[in-house]
Amino acid sequence: MSPGRKHWLDEPRNVTRLVWTLASVCVALVIGDLAYHKHVHFGFEAWFGFYGFFGFAAFFFIVIAGKHLRKILMRDEDYYDE
């Protein structure tokens, strides 16, 4: 594959399109909650859009918490080689 060739993802506009497509699918999935009867083990699972909200919040929390964890845990690459 030639190094100079432009790929579809090299175009920032296309990446933006991808993100908006993902966002639209996400919204559609939550609206989809209205279209069927959920079989659940716990009451909270039946809340409108619960899984979507939970997935978004959990992911966001994990990344931000990891970022702060670095302040305590991160060392130079040769820390153990000294």
Partner 1 sequence: MSSLSVLPPAWILILGALLVPLIRGRSRIAYVLALPVLSFVQLLGLFGVPEGAHLQVELLGYTLTLARVDKLSLVFGVIFHLVAFLSIIYAAHVKDAVQHIAGLVYAGAGIAAVFAGDLITLFVYWELTAIASVFLIWARRTERSYRAGMRYLIIQVGSGVLLLAGTILHYRATGSLAFDHLGLGSLGTDLIFLAFGIKCAFPFLHNWLQDAYPEATVTGTVFLSAFTTKLAVYALARGYAGTEILIPIGVIMTIFPIFFAVIENDLRRVLAYSLNNQLGFMVVGIGVGTEMALNGTVSHAFAHLLYKALLFMSMGAVLYRAGTIKASELGGLYKSMPLTATFCIIGALSISAFPLFSGFVSKSMIISAVGEHHLTLAFLGLMFASAGVMEHSGIKIPFFAFFAHDSGIRCKEAPANMLIAMGVTAALCIGIGVVPGPLYSLLPYEVEYQPYTATHVMTSFQLLLWAALAFAVLIRTGLYPAETPSVNLDFDWTYRRLLPRVVGAVGRGFRWVEGRVLDRAQRNIGKFLDGVYRHHGPPGVFARTWPTGSTVLWIAVMLAAYLLLYYLR
CB of 9 to partner 1, least distance (A): 7
Contact 14, 8 (CB under 8 A): yes
Q: Judging by beta carbons within 10 Å of its beta carbon (0-12, 13-18, 19+), is residue 52 exposed, middle or buried?
A: middle
Query: Per CB under 8 A, does 76 bind partner 1?
Result: yes
Interface ranges with partner 1 (CB under 8 A):
1, 3, 5, 7, 9-10, 19, 22-23, 25-26, 29-30, 32-33, 36, 38-42, 45, 49, 51-60, 62-67, 69-70, 72-77, 79-81
